[in-house]
Structure 1
Amino acid sequence: MTAADNEDELEAQFAQWRQYVQRRPELRQADSEELEDHLRASVDQLVAVGLRADEAFLIAVKRMGGLDDLAREFAREHSERLWKQLVLTGDTDGQGAGTRSRRDLLVMVSCAVGAAVSVKVPELFGMRLDEDGQFYAPNFALFALPWLAAFLAWRRQARPALIGVLLALFGLGAVAANAYPLADDSQSLVLTAIHLPIALWLVVGLAYVADDLRSARRRMDFIRFTGEWFVYFVLIALGGGVLIAFVVGTFEAIGIVPEDFIQQWLVPCGVVASVVVAGWLVEAKQSVVENIAPVLTRLFTPLFTAVLLAFLIALAWTSGGIDVEREALILFDLLLVVVLGLLLYSISARDPLARPGLFDKLQLALVVSALIIDVLVLREITHRITEYGTTPNKAAALGENVILLANLAWSAWLMLGFVRRRTPFAALERWQTGYLPVYAAWSWIVVLVFPPLFGYL
């Protein structure tokens, strides 16, 4: 192995260490940079006395004294490179880590209970989940997401000023959900029920990055957190379905029908509490799902690519137009959002130093296919608006597809440059994390501006 190869291997090890350290919620960006400086200095000293670069790196990590807990976690995650032999020594469950875990558990349980209680509070004012859908549809996210944000803000030790901003934004969401006179069949009610959770989820993102608001890496960590949270939430939901089946079966066997309990208590309280529990699981068991989620992206990326290409071929073969009625608009927007989600999560899970490969080309094909579909949908929406006039649904879809078009178009360009080895992968990361405020701004516009703009239709 040449000296250049050794240098590349050493830099790859530093990048792996840096990526791991920057995911630690208790460390700020400045902390991780200082740690890396110490690590590099130690490696240089060991290399100077005759050790190989890879040996020096492993020993330098071991010597980082007060960071033994951090080193052990890094060792478990990268055990394939003899980390167990060099780092996993002594007690693996430090007293400080155990105390922090117990505190996290207590705070999580408190927040989950708070969410479960809050979803029942409206019943004190005569509201019922099965009768007042007009109230619960736009408000449901407000029963869960503030509690998840509270848990994350506590973990990140958010400053009082940021906590005030979080409270103000959640308060604004409550006003948007309840201040406008929207009828049960109002399009604006549906748009609020769809867009307000998106806007509030990005408020949760503020709590997540509270320890380093300006860091692009922390924003990418929030994207990763979103994907992992979704995986855990789905797993909890599946387990909840099994629990409900057992409850129904066992109680009916003794002549008790628990339908009201399930509909009025178990399901709503369980759903909002699960939002908090899933967030806690991501924070506490991050490495478990990190091994699952990249596999899911590699499984579904080729499947969605095949579906989109088949759709484009069928569209060209039949020479038909695209239906842009409300249900179809929602379907196409969901499809584009899923594609974007696959792209975002695969970016967050990818080694930034790895060379472009077949999977990157497959992702480029997926993004280009989604981009073509977005252009076709935009053309149909524009034609319908020009011919028949606009509605809240069509206006919202137009704006969302324009926003997705800009993101997908520049993503495709950056991915093409990366595949051709002319653009660094970091440019694609920065573009995606920097685009998050655009989604937040549009969601708030739809929630706050659209209802009065369209006469509360």
Structure 2
Amino acid sequence: MTAPEGQDELEAQFTQWRHYVQRRPELRQSDAEELEDHLRGSVDELVAVGLRADEAFLVAVKRMGGLDELSREFAREHSERLWKQLVLTGEPDGPARDTGQRRVLIAMVICAAGAAVSVKVPELFGVSIEQGDAFYGLNLSLFTLPWLAAFLAWRRRAAPGLIGVLVALFALGAVAANVYRLADDSQSLVLTCIHLPIALWFVVGLAYVSDDVRSSRRQMDFIRFTGEWFVYLALITSGGGVLVAFVFGTFTAIGIVPEVFVQQWLLPCGGVAAVVVAAWLVEAKQSVVENMAPVLARLFTPLFTAVLLAFLVAFGWTSAGIDVEREALILFDLLLVVVLGLLLYSLSARDPLAPPGLFDKLQLALVVSALAIDVLVLLEIAGRISEYGTTPNKAAALGENVILLVNLAWSVWLVLGFIRRRTPFVALERWQTGYLPVYAAWAWVVALVFPPLFDYL
């Protein structure tokens, strides 16, 4: 049975409208569903009197955003939320909204302070920051990310059952970081230091989408949040560097050398607190229509495309092999992850209803180039493993590149289908969000299974 004419386009419009509404954290999931039901009812009434589906949708949205009395009553009832700004333009926010913002600020300060205190707790047991490099390398994410997840879960009013899942996953991370006895020069130590924060970041993602775990759109919002968070954290880090320089300069000028204070207090406590503060900044600016990370993605996509194409041309011209030592493997994996990030953030900012254009073709060239490089790296890794045997580093790189290969290959197919107008844009978006658990699962496997599998090498 085929869908009625225009039904697919209408559902795509509803999807876009739902995305716009659900990006506002002040609006609960039940509120969004109530508004969508009302919007659908209005559209059905307009279609019944002879309007086309797309015309009915535009008229219904116009009514809801302007003169529709039900929307205005809804906004007055929930005056502290962002929906008031959408349908009651020109009216003051009032004290209720200020109180809500103050509560969020207090929650952020509590979580940031908790992270700062946590990073100093090991010193009570004789493990100092200067002497416990391996310990802090393994556990640093456990000092920060649980507090970030707590802040986000509080913001989303997470259910008690889901909070229990978050606690259990962080406890599992603590086991992975501290149960295995790894030598300071072991490959498993380095792999755990890299993959455990990745695994725990997906736990943070679970807290972020706790208001609607199954929504692919909320998962895409988490991807956008990750990029925004990284940008803000980089800005805070840059500002922190200036602060440290001023502390050293001013106190040294009066004969006081603050080296101990900076190294043992300011840097560690400020660094872990910044993780929570950066998330608060992202949450505070969600009403901004255009986000920073997607803008940067559109800026760097053509640049990275040119670099990857130049690398492939140089590789073919010189016929030189690819060095697959640990540093090179990390570099190539980071390159592929950056390419994937550029694709994801460009998708997150794109209008789902817009037709394919030049930028979509540029993205196709970027993903095809990355896929070709991934194949070359995989061939080199497989050749080294068959010749010299496997190591934890090579096994981890092999798995990661296979996972990226599957994602990139299917992404090429979907982007090509979209450009040829044979595949809807939403299929590409759902593929990317649906693939996120694969990355999380692999990170957990490397952190938990690899050390005993390779005899703690």
Q: Normalising to structure 2: TM-score of the pair?
A: 0.91
Alpha-carbon separation, structure 2, partners of 1:448 and 1:289:
40
Alpha-carbon separation, structure 2, partners of 1:146 and 1:409:
34
Q: Sequence identity of aligned pairs in percent?
A: 75
Bigger shift: residues 312-321 or 18-27: 18-27
Which SS does the other structure have where 1:423 is aligned?
Answer: coil
CA offset digits 1:18-72 (Å, max 9, x no partner):
221121235455542331231344467689799x865663332233122265345
CA contact (8 A) 1:25 1:211 kept: no
CA offset digits 1:121-153 (Å, max 9, x no partner):
011111121221110101100000000000011
Moved over 6 A (4+): 6-13, 43-50
Q: How does 1:348-387 map to 2 (within 5 A)?
A: 348-387=348-387
Alpha-carbon separation, structure 2, partners of 1:338 and 1:199:
18
Q: 1:59 aligns with which of 58, 63, 71?
A: 63
Alpha-carbon separation, structure 2, partners of 1:13 and 1:410:
25
Residue 78 (structure 1) aligns with: none
Which SS does the other structure have where 1:396 is aligned?
Answer: helix
CA offset digits 1:173-227 (Å, max 9, x no partner):
0111011110111110000000000000000111111111111111111111111
Matching residue's letter, 1:334: L
Alpha-carbon separation, structure 2, partners of 1:95 and 1:39:
30
Unaligned runs of 5+ in 1: 1-5, 76-86
Matching residue's letter, 1:70: L
Alpha-carbon separation, structure 1, partners of 2:214 and 2:21:
17
Q: How far apart are 1:391 and its partner, in Å?
A: 0.5
Residue 91 (structure 2) aligns with: 90
Count of paired positions: 439
Bigger shift: residues 32-41 or 161-170: 32-41
Residue 79 (structure 1) aligns with: none
Q: How far apart are 1:11 and its partner, in Å?
A: 8.2
CA offset digits 1:155-186 (Å, max 9, x no partner):
11111111111111101101110111101111
CA offset digits 1:336-388 (Å, max 9, x no partner):
11111111111112111111111111111111100000000000000000000
CA contact (8 A) 2:112 2:274 kept: yes
Alpha-carbon separation, structure 1, partners of 2:9 and 2:31:
24
Alpha-carbon separation, structure 1, partners of 2:378 and 2:349:
31
Q: How does 1:182-261 map to 2 (within 5 A)?
A: 182-261=182-261
Alpha-carbon separation, structure 1, partners of 2:116 and 2:83:
38
Confirm or deny that 1:163 pairs with 2:163: yes
Matching residue's letter, 1:430: R
Alpha-carbon separation, structure 2, partners of 1:99 and 1:161:
28
Structure 2 vs 1, CA of residues 25 and 71 (structure 1 numbering), >3 Å: closer, same or farther?
closer
Structure 2 vs 1, CA of residues 44 and 196 (structure 1 numbering), >3 Å: closer, same or farther?
same
Matching residue's letter, 2:344: L
Which SS does the other structure have where 1:333 is aligned?
Answer: helix
Q: How far apart are 1:15 and its partner, in Å?
A: 5.3
Confirm or deny that 1:341 pairs with 2:341: yes
Q: How does 1:25-424 map to 2 (within 5 A)?
A: 25-27=25-27, 29=29, 31-42=31-42, 57-62=61-66, 63=68, 64-65=71-72, 66-67=74-75, 69-74=81-86, 87-91=88-92, 93-288=93-288, 290-424=290-424
Bigger shift: residues 216-225 or 109-118: 216-225
Structure 2 vs 1, CA of residues 323 and 214 (structure 1 numbering), >3 Å: closer, same or farther?
same
Alpha-carbon separation, structure 2, partners of 1:356 and 1:99:
44
Q: Normalising to structure 1: TM-score of the pair?
A: 0.91
Which SS does the other structure have where 2:246 is aligned?
Answer: helix
Alpha-carbon separation, structure 1, partners of 2:348 and 2:426:
11
CA contact (8 A) 2:305 2:369 kept: yes
CA contact (8 A) 2:367 2:412 kept: yes
CA contact (8 A) 1:333 1:401 kept: yes
Alpha-carbon separation, structure 2, partners of 1:73 and 1:247:
42
Alpha-carbon separation, structure 2, partners of 1:49 and 1:433:
38
Structure 2 vs 1, CA of residues 74 and 12 (structure 1 numbering), >3 Å: closer, same or farther?
farther
Structure 2 vs 1, CA of residues 73 and 393 (structure 1 numbering), >3 Å: closer, same or farther?
farther
Alpha-carbon separation, structure 2, partners of 1:402 and 1:197:
21
CA contact (8 A) 1:220 1:433 kept: yes
Alpha-carbon separation, structure 2, partners of 1:328 and 1:301:
22
CA contact (8 A) 1:43 1:60 kept: no
